[in-house]
Chain A
Amino acid sequence: MTGGRAVVLGDPGPWMCAGMTGGVIYQCLYPDYGFNREALERRMARGANVTITKISKDGLNDVRELLGKYIEELEKGFQTDEVQDVSAILQEAGKRFVMINPKPLRPPSAE
């Protein structure tokens, strides 16, 4: 990944973020279910070179924008229960989400 925004509500699975050099991932955490920051760190691939930080204000806006559109589509599909559950997450987005950004790569020196 070198650019773009991704909102991940669930478990991203193993070996995540290998080769990420740009863009941002907003990851929802579920401390009640044991999916906390440490669990997220365990899912990072060896090849991942990223930072995990508290979500920023801009980040929060991104999450609101993207989840808003997602909820809109769920509504169109009459998935009312899901709308409620996702909206509940959106309500506490500031607490629930962390941001994953790539660390700037040191440009390799020429030979």
Chain B
Amino acid sequence: MENKLHPGIYREREKDACAIVAFIDKRGHSTHANIVQTIDALRKMGHRSGDINGEGDGCGISMDIPRDIWARRLAGIHLSPHLAESNSFLVGHFLLPASARSQAKKIIARARQIFKRQSVDILLELSGKTCDAELGPRARQDAPLFWQLSGMIPDTSRDASRKRLFRLQLEIESKLPEVHIASLSLDTVVFKVQGMPDLLPRVFPELRDEDTRSVITLGHGRYSTNTLPTVERSQPFSILGHNGEINTIERLRSTGRALKIEAVPGGSDSQDLNRVIEGLINLYDLDVLEAMEMVFPTIYSEVEKYPQELRDVYAFYRWFFSCSAQGPAAVLARSGDTCMGSVDALGLRPLWFGESDYNYFLSSEKGVVDIEHNMTDPRPLAPGEKIAILAGRGKQAEVLDYGAIQARLVKLLSSRRRTKKYLNSLYTGIPSAGKNTWKKKNAVISGQFLREDFSIAGLHDPCFLAALGWSNYDLMIRQRVARDGREVIGSMGHTGPLASFVPGALPNIADYCKENVAVVTNPAIDRERESEHFSTRVVLGSRPDIRGEKGVPPLGLELDTPLLLGAQAFSGIIEVDRCRDICAKHSTFLFEDVIDFYTCQQRDPGLVKLIDATYVPAEGLTARLENLAKETKMAVKEGAVLIVLDDSNSFKDERVFIDPAVLVAYLHDFMIRTGIRREASLIVQSAAVRNLHDLMLITGLGADALHPYLMWHISSKYAAEKQDTGVVIDNTFSVLQKGMEKVMSTMGIHELCGYGRIFSAIGLQSDLAAIMRIPNFCPSDSGGLSIAGLDEMATLRYSKAVSGEEPVIYKEPVRNPKVGRILRNVAVGKTGYLEMAQELEKVAEDLPTGIRHLLKVISAAKVQRLTMDKVDISIGNHAMPLVIAAMSFGSQGENSFRAYAEAAQKANIVCMNGEGGEIPEMLGKYRRNRGQQIASGRFGVFMGFLNSTDFLEIKIGQGAKPGEGGHLPGNKVSDMVAKSRHCKEGITLISPSNHHDIYSIEDLAQIITELKTANPHTRVSVKIPVTSGVGTIAVGIAKAGADILNISGFEGGTGAAREHAKRFVGLPAEIGVSEAHRALIESGLRDGIEIWTDGGMRSGDDVLKMILLGANRVGLGTVALMGVGCISCRKCHLDRCPRGISTQLRTRQDAEARGVKGFTPRILDAESENLARLLNAIGDEIRMRVAELGEQRLQDLVGRTDLLRQYRMNDLLDAADILRSPSSSCDPDRYPKPQIVRKPLNYLTRLISDLAMDRFEQGDTLVRFAEEGVHSTDRAVGTYLAGAIERKYGGSNPNMKAVLRLGSSVPGNGLCAFISQGLETVVEGGSQDGAAKGSMGGLLGVFKGQNVLGRRIDGSTGKSFAYGAMGGLLMVQNLADSRACIRMSGADIVFGRRITEPVCDDLT
């Protein structure tokens, strides 16, 4: 499945979102019921796992070794049954994939030899004890061979035995990579299948045997977004089951590798998380409590409040294990007799803890245990909380809350006395800085780490800048950041060419790389809301070992940020002490002070090694990198703990800087490979670090700190009268610092220590891509940037730097105004489609921006051409495959906003509304031609809105600013905007960067279900930005039930976004469409979903190319603006649009008062005509082009990449991979019928509606419905009825009233989502995630219910309660899990849980 040229793309993007559950017998009894209950709970959470054609993605359980069964088996072969109870008794479960079945005998024989070499005495083997006929058609074809064995391990101590088993496991993994080890343990066995949970006991007869018993069982149901689910990925793994996604997985893997914990070959993020934890336990003798805490540590801001001894624990953990696992994660882990539950620091995944009659349980949904059988209130684990249960046969289970766990951690660290002593050499400040305690009197700052003839004077010479890859953009950003002290905001889309297209601009590697963002399966983080979680801390120097056996103790220096200022670059410009003040403000230091700290004012220079990061291009980069690696290794061997990569020697004696990104990527990997990464850190001192993107890239590739001396120097040049040098440097520092946090947040990362190679490149050749080790698009061995290309470019750089000629700093050409004029001419009827087509083609030829501009549609021979009237470009009910891309009322003025909808109706295409509600009187007016967007702010999203249209779009992100939200300042929230958004005039509106009810793929599936429950007639679209792995994301979205996947390329426009985001974040639409189209075909899901795309398309030619690449419809946003008269002045974000398009200004007077000159407001009727004319002309252009192809139906051409060829710039970029056809199709028809059909799990909401609507139709106005025992399988209860009332009677205050009373119930997620007036629901029991979201009226009460003892319990609700609620009365008697009332804009809420005992301030 992996493509050779795409190393790791698919692998990296495997997702594991799911349901998890554990039952722990609190009496210590081993029972069969323990297993049955777990499987039953998984079944009840079936909606949380994925399936293709009814076949589940996979599930599994981890349980005690069924010793009675094995005893019986041993007796059967005349061995003592008591062996099964021995401490040395082990059981292994192995899966041999179907493809290896023919070799099974040979493989098993080799495995036996490995056991033998490790002196394990195999007692009994079993093979194929499964009923594969029970599997679904797809899984049956791929059914693995199940091989079980039991044996005796020679060691006497359990620790030694465990270690031996771990070694065995690693050996089998490396020598027999085809074998999947489900479990190999002294305690547990794992059973897993590809399929739904009910298959487990049917496939494994052992699980049906009444003698199979367990005290602890962990269960996991999987939602795979991998192209094809496989049983190997099913969970639980040896230790844990995980619901969520690890955003820091790349860093986690490399941190593991540096500790010699090898990742699982081809493993998913959850598998490698498991591997890191088992590695820490088995290789480093850590307790499972310690290992889990190292990987999921408490956030810094909380740790600061802890007592010293606990702070020591975390200081050591962070120092020893530098990368925390971040991203949504509810984890259940078991090691020996310890069972743990853990929730990520932000609490993004739900995990409930409860107690039933005989068990403790942990579960994604509390409703899996009926309320009657709960003994106490189930409670959700708080963000960052852990819980441990010590259980086992014959002992009462003991629950350790987080406080008790932490107390144990303190004890455990104290028991490692030598290790703890290391903390004396971990510094959080430089003792000498300021106080001179370690310093010789009047010692000068060390200068030797910049070359001796280093001169600041020449640094900002344009020749020098151009040679270093500085562009006009960089200088503009530096200037505005320095002066304004805030990040630079712009509008419209990025229209510059890909870096590959302009080698003459001397782009750096960073310019070929784009940042990845979190999309759907993992969320971006709402940085404003959760600011206490963010940290950019780094520790420099060497790292400790765990046993305290290091010859020289480690020496660590903790900084709050990896950014260092430097005195040398400012010498003569600003006082050193002023620099130190700025450093102190940001808790960092001068580069020179850091060096002095480590060398003790150069008394011991050996601790720091200066590497000359320049080379002579003629000698070749490859050779130079190898030499530098050797030099580094030697230096570390001799005791260096800081490696400084310094390029200040550049442009002298034929020497040119080595691109810092390449050097860091190379050295970081080299140091890990050679086992020296933990002994020294990398500091980059480079003039080629120009902007935030460079900083993030180089940090992500492995740099521990950066000293971008030229960037500081250039910034200082922008000092002005009112802003002296100190101020502009401080400004620059602050903005970069905030920018780093923002970039992290878009990837769902809150601690910089986890930000790794989260980038993709476009157009690197294989040799360079192999060094960068990031996903690389348009890979090739012939076209694109190679190492040899870098050498050539370096030669050019040198001649540019020393030429002394009038240098040209690269500036991107202006493109939009030209295009705008052409389009406007057509819109107002001055020219026709033919001229437009020719003129736009010329622009594309002269100013290519994207891959599509290198492609030509292959024309048919003349005889085959059709006339235009024979061509059908319609799709569904619509005349053309065009969509007016989403723009909101708020960003757009009323008349332009209305003109888009009107024009779309006239041209019969779809017009999407952006987030921001609909002008009330437009609701429902354009049903067929209108789509409504549901975005993170949920403005104006209520039942009437949801039923006003045929298309609903969940906006996860947009190409121009992936992973970011929006902010509408109060002064733009006019009366009319407030009405359409259902909020109050003048109040600032914040759209978070993520949906607070979509933190995973199963959450997406849930909201799609809710929307379709609210409006069964709608088609649901999911709009995503393009990021690497978009193919797997597309599969996940299709499986979640979306009808449309809308792919937004990074060239897309916006009303306001950071310039950084427009330029460096996300990928082109071409890549997104081709990847998604291919992945959907390969997984057999393409037929069920339409692909839409937008982002930079300007012509019929562009539209046709995107369709040939795999899209069904193409969105045009900027084109629509230009059609109504946009002149591309790029002032949208200033609310000063001189054409009255993207502004709330309405009249000339208002405009003049704001200083907007030449204001010409739009006239609705005229502009909707104009725009319709333009759209029809684009349609004609498409018809013409399709006719030239000799094809009749445009939709037949979707994905016909054979009709495209690359006609130019082949040496710069090779587009062949984009044009590749899908490798295989998994056509559902290939599999034998019948396919599996299941009873729908979720029918109550519909049933209630049908019953109630019948009564209303008969004239009743009040309906009462009472039900007992509603379970978590019944989701969105009440929502269907609210929708039905809306559709039948309209929202105008119907007199109907329905009262639902649900006794002893814990209804499923989305209870009463989007309810409106007239619906009253009272639950006695509890509710789960997403209750009352988007409610507009009515009542929801969640009260305590009674258990079998008559005790009142529960009454709690889950995450994201009342998200975006606009009205209604909502009551919760007990707890609400995190994220309650976000974006609430009008409901009344009562949280009734009282305080009944003294509160402690430890608020975990």
A79 at the B interface (CB under 8 A): yes
The reply to whether A21 and B989 contact each other, CB–CB distance below 8 Å, is yes
Supposing A9-B1394, A33-B1397, A110-B1135 touch, asked if A22 and B1389 sit within 8 A by C-beta, the answer is no
Mark contacts of B1374-1395 with chain A using CB atoms, 8 A cut-off: 1 yes-contact digit, 0 otherwise.
0000100111111111111111
A30 to B1395, CA, bound (A): 7
B1343 touches A69 (CB 8 A): no
In the bound complex, what is the Cα–Cα distance between A93 and B468 (angstroms)? Answer: 68
* Among B532, B1381, B1393, contact of A15 (Cβ-Cβ < 8 Å): B532
Q: Is the CB of B1390 within 8 A of A2?
A: no
The complex places the Cα of A111 from the Cα of B481 at a distance, in Å, of 12
State in angstroms the CA–CA spacing of A107 and B989 once bound together.
11
- Bound-complex Cα distance A19 to B993 (A): 12
Chain A hits for B489, CB < 8 A: 111
Cα separation A12 to B1376 with both chains bound (whole Å): 9
Majority-rule SS of A interface residues: mixed
Question: Which residues of chain A in 15-39 are interfacial with respect to chain B, using CB atoms and an 8 Å cutoff?
Answer: 15, 18-19, 21-23, 28, 30, 33-35, 39
Mask of B355-398 contacts with A, CB within 8 angstroms, 1/0: 00000000000000000000000000010000000000000000
Q: Which of B529, B1352, B1391, B1396 contacts A19 (CB 8 A)?
A: B529
- The residues of B that contact A10 with a CB separation of less than 8 Å are 1391-1395
A55 CB, min distance to chain B CBs, angstroms: 15
User: For the complex, what is the distance from the CA of A44 to the CA of B363, rounded to whole Å?
Assistant: 29
Contact: B1391 with A47, CB < 8 Å? no
Do B984 and A86 touch (CB < 8 A)?
A: no
Contact of A45 among B532, B983, B984, B1397 (CB under 8 A): B532
B1403 within 8 A of A: yes
- Smallest CB separation, A28 vs chain B (Å): 8
Q: A69's closest neighbor in chain B, by CB?
A: B1369
Task: Kindly list chain B residues whose C-beta atoms are within 8 Å of the C-beta of A66.
Answer: 1369, 1388-1390
Cross-chain contact B1392 with A86 (CB below 8 angstroms): yes
Residue of B with least CB distance to A29:
B1395
When the two chains form the complex, which single residue of B382, B531, B1134, B1393 contacts A47, counting CB atoms closer than 8 Å? B531
Residues of chain A lying within 8 A (CB to CB) of residue B128: none
- Assess the B1386–A74 pair: CB atoms within 8 A: no
Q: Are B1386 and A3 in contact (CB under 8 A)?
A: yes
Which single member of B971, B1366, B1378 contacts A13 (CB below 8 Å)? B1378
Shortest Cβ distance from B1389 into chain A, in angstroms?
4
In the bound complex, residues from chain B placing their C-beta under 8 Å from that of A28 are 1394
Instruction: Give min CB distance, A61 to chain B, whole Å.
Output: 13
Q: How far is the CA of A64 from the CA of B845 in the complex (A)?
A: 71
Bound: A67/B1392 CA distance, A: 9
Question: How far apart are B1267's CB and chain A's nearest CB, in angstroms?
Answer: 15
List chain A residues, Cβ under 8 A from B1366: 3
Q: How far is the CA of A69 from the CA of B1394 in the complex (A)?
A: 17
The answer to whether B1133 touches A111 (Cβ under 8 A) is yes
Cross-chain contact A105 with B531 (CB below 8 angstroms): no
Contact call B987/A22, Cβ cutoff below 8 A: yes
- In the complex, which residues 54-91 of chain A have their Cβ closer than 8 Å to any Cβ of chain B? 66-67, 69-70, 73-74, 76-77, 79, 82, 85-86, 89
* Shortest Cβ gap from B291 to chain A (Å): 26
Contact B1387 A4 (CB under 8 A): yes
Q: Are A4 and B1365 in contact (CB under 8 A)?
A: yes
B1217 to chain A, nearest CB (A): 40
Bound: A5/B382 CA distance, A: 24
- Tell me if B988 counts as interface (CB < 8 A to partner A): yes
In the complex the two chains form, what is the Cα distance from A45 to B534 in whole Å? 13
B1396: chain A residues at CB < 8 Å are 33
Q: Does A95 contact B (CB under 8 A)?
A: no
Closest chain B CB from A94 CB (angstroms)? 18
Residue of A nearest to B1369 (CB): A69
Picked from A19, A33, A89, the residue with its CB within 8 Å of the CB of B528 is A19
- CB contacts (< 8 Å) of A67 on chain B: these are 1390
Contact B971 A107 (CB under 8 A): yes
- Of B971, B1387, B1390, most buried by chain A (CB within 10 Å of CB) is B1390
Output the nearest chain B residue to A73 by Cβ-Cβ distance: B1341
In the assembled complex, the CB of A99 is this many whole angstroms from the nearest CB of chain B, namely: 15
B1322 at the interface (CB under 8 A from A): yes
Asked if B309 is at the interface of the complex by the 8 Å CB criterion, the answer is no
Contact B1391 A7 (CB under 8 A): yes
Shortest distance from the beta carbon of A31 to any chain B beta carbon, whole Å: 11
Instruction: Provide the residues of chain A in CB contact with B1381, threshold 8 Å.
Output: 1, 4, 6
Chain B residues with CB under 8 Å of A13's CB are: 382, 1378, 1403
Chain B residue nearest to A2 in the complex (CB): B1385
- Measured CB to CB, the closest approach of chain A to B1312, in angstroms, equals 15
B1 in contact (CB, < 8 A): no
B251 at the interface (CB under 8 A from A): no
Chain B positions within 8 Å of A73 at CB level: 1322, 1341, 1343, 1371
Contact of A105 among B526, B970, B984, B1403 (CB under 8 A): B970
Whether A9 lies near B1392 (C-beta < 8 A) is yes
Task: Assess whether B1391 is in contact with A18, with CB atoms less than 8 Å apart.
Answer: no
> Contacts of B1371 on A, CB cut-off 8 Å?
69-70, 73
Query: Contact at A2–B1383, with CB atoms within 8 Å?
Result: yes
Q: Which residue of A lies closest to B937 (CB)?
A: A2
- B631 at the A interface (CB under 8 A): no
Report whether B1343 and A2 are in contact in the complex, using a CB–CB cutoff of 8 Å.
no
B residues near A3, Cβ cutoff 8 Å: 983-984, 987, 1366, 1384-1386
Q: Is B1136 positioned at the interface, with any CB of A under 8 Å from its CB?
A: yes
- The answer to whether A110 and B1341 touch across the interface, beta carbons within 8 angstroms, is no
Q: Is the Cβ of B983 less than 8 Å from the Cβ of A4?
A: no
When distances are taken between beta carbons in the complex, the residues of chain A under 8 Å from B1393 are: 9-11
> Cβ of A22 and Cβ of B1134 under 8 Å apart?
no
Q: Chain A contacts of B1382 at CB under 8 A?
A: 1, 19
A45 vs B1403: C-alpha distance when bound (angstroms): 12
Give B1146 Cβ to nearest chain A Cβ, in Å. Answer: 17
- Whether B1240 is near chain A, meaning CB under 8 Å from some CB there, is no
Residues of B within 8 A of A22 (CB): 983-984, 987, 1385
What is the CA–CA distance of A33 and B1391 in the complex, to the nearest angstrom?
Answer: 18
Pick the most buried of B529, B971, B1378: most chain A CB atoms within 10 A of its CB. Answer: B529
Interchain nearest-CB distance for B820 vs A (Å):
22
- Shortest C-beta distance, B1103 to chain A (Å), equals 34
Contacts of A21 in B (CB 8 A): 970, 987-990
Residues of chain A within 8 A of B447, CB atoms compared = none
Whether B969 sits at the interface, judged by CB under 8 Å, is yes
A74–chain B nearest beta-carbon distance, Å: 7
Complex: A95 Cα to B462 Cα, angstroms = 69
Across-interface contacts of B1394 in A (CB, < 8 A): 9-10, 28, 85-86, 89
In this complex, the member of B528, B1378, B1394, B1396 whose beta carbon has the largest number of chain A beta carbons within 10 angstroms is B1394
| Residue in chain A with minimal CB distance to B534 | A46
**Residue B1398 is within 8 A (CB to CB) of chain A in the complex:** yes
Q: Is B484 on the interface with A (CB-CB < 8 A)?
A: yes
Scan B101-114; emit 1 where CB is below 8 A from any A CB, else 0: 00000000000000
Q: Across the interface, do B1395 and A5 meet the contact criterion of CB distance under 8 Å?
A: no
Picked from B382, B970, B1387, the residue with its CB within 8 Å of the CB of A107 is B970
**C-alpha spacing A46/B1133, complex, angstroms:** 27
**Chain B residue at smallest Cβ distance from A35:** B1399
Interface flags for B660-704 (1: CB within 8 Å of A; 0: not) read: 000000000000000000000000000000000000000000000
**Top 6 closest A-B pairs, CB basis?**
A10-B1393, A18-B529, A3-B1385, A6-B1389, A14-B1403, A22-B987
A-B contact pairs, 14 of them (CB 8 A): A1-B1385, A2-B988, A2-B1385, A4-B1386, A6-B1384, A15-B530, A19-B992, A33-B1395, A45-B530, A73-B1371, A105-B969, A105-B988, A107-B988, A111-B484
Q: Which residues of B contact A (CB under 8 A)?
A: 382, 484, 489, 526, 528-532, 969-971, 983-984, 987-990, 992, 1133-1136, 1322, 1324, 1341, 1343-1344, 1352, 1365-1366, 1369, 1371, 1373, 1378, 1381-1399, 1401, 1403
Given contacts A12-B1391, A18-B530, 20 further A-B contacts (CB under 8 A): A4-B1384, A15-B530, A19-B526, A19-B528, A19-B529, A21-B970, A21-B989, A22-B984, A28-B1394, A35-B1399, A47-B530, A69-B1369, A73-B1322, A73-B1371, A77-B1344, A79-B1352, A86-B1394, A105-B969, A105-B988, A107-B988
